[in-house]
Amino acid sequence: MNRRFSGFLFILFLTSCTNFSRYASQYNFNSSDKAPHYENLDYWAAHPWKKDLSDSIPAPLRQEKRDTVADVFFLHPTIYTDGNMGGNQNALIDDKKLNAKTDYTTILYQASVFNQHSRVFAPRYRQAHVSNFFIRDTVLSNAAFDTAYVDLKNAFDHYLQNWNKGRPIIIASHSQGSKHAKRLLKEYFEGKKLKRQLVVAYVIGWPVPVNYFTDLKFCEDSLETGCICGWRTFKKGYIPFYIKNEKNPSRVTNPLTWQTNEEYAPASLHKGSVFREFNQVLPQTTDAQIANGVLWVARPDFPGSVFYLSRNYHIGDINLFYVNLRENVEQRIESYQMRNKK
C-alpha cells in the first residue's frame, strides 16, 4: 500500500471514532453563492471575536500567563477525506459535519497551541479533497488547490484590511494548509514590506525545498524571527518512497532544539504531547533527529502506543510537540519585541 496514503488512512481511523454529526446543529449558516464571506465570523473556524475551540487550553497549562501580543493566521490541514465526494473536488463551505469535524480536530488539537500570546485567526475554506494529492489528472487537482488557495488569500486580505493594524504576524499551517502557506508567504512576505511584521512561519507537514524562497530563510535557532520552521515526522529509520523521489531537498527544523542540524535531541528535551485526551499533557514521549529531509523520532510513548504500528506520524506533526511549540511561540514573540525596540 502507498505509505503516504496509509498515513491518511490513520487520520481517517482517528476521526471516524468521533460522531461529528452530533455537533452539526452548531453550524446553521448558508452562503448564497457557495463561497465563504469573511466579514461573517461563521466563516472563521477560529477568530478572536468569538468563542471557539482554538481558545481551549489543556488543564495542566491553564496557569500560564496569557496575552494577545501577536496574531496567528492558521491554515488548517485536509479534513475533507470522505470517500463519497458527491462529485465535489472541493469541500462545500457550509457542510455542517465537515465544519464540526474541522473544529473538533485541527482547531482543538493544533490551532490551540498558539493561544497563549496570540489572537488566532483560522479561516474556513473550500479545501481540496484528499484524493487530489494522489490523482494523476494534475489539471483537475491544480484547479482544486487553486480554489482552496483563493479562499485563503481572500481571508488573509480581509484580515489585513480589517484586523491586523500593524500587529506582529505568525503564519502557522499543517499539511494542505502548508502547501497553501508557502504560496501565501511567497506572495505577501517574500521581498515585501509585510515581512517586517513576520514573527515566524511554522510551515509544518509539507516539504519546503531549499531554493523555494530567496528572501525568506529557515530559522537556525529558537529566537530568530522573520524566518520559517517546518518538519515532517516519521519513525526513526523510515524514509517513504515519495520522499526518496523528491527532486529538491527540503529544509527541516528539529522542534526539540529549533536547529536545522542533524544533532540528536533526547526525549529529555521533549516538554509535552497532547493526544486524544486533550486535558492530558504527556512529557518525554519521544526524541527527535533530522535525517534525509525529514524528522525521525522513536515511536511515541503514550497509553496504547504498543498498538500504534504506523511509521508515518504526519497526523501528530503539531500536537506531538505541543508544549515545545507553544513555548517557542512565546520565545519568538519576545525576541521580535526586543528587536523592534532597538
Beta strands 169-174; 198-204: pairing state: parallel
Q: Strand 118-123: give its sheet, edge to edge.
A: 44-46, 118-123, 70-75, 169-174, 198-204, 227-229
Q: Each residue of 305-338: pLDDT tens digit? A: 777 788 999 999 999 999 999 999 999 999 999 9
Which set of grid coordinates corresponds to residue 161?
A: 484590511
Q: Each residue of 78-115: pLDDT tens digit? A: 999 988 777 899 999 999 999 999 999 999 999 999 99
Give the other-Cβ count within 10 Å of 18's Cβ: 14
Q: Each residue of 251-277: pLDDT tens digit? A: 999 999 999 999 999 999 999 999 999
Residue in the block written with cell 485526551? 277
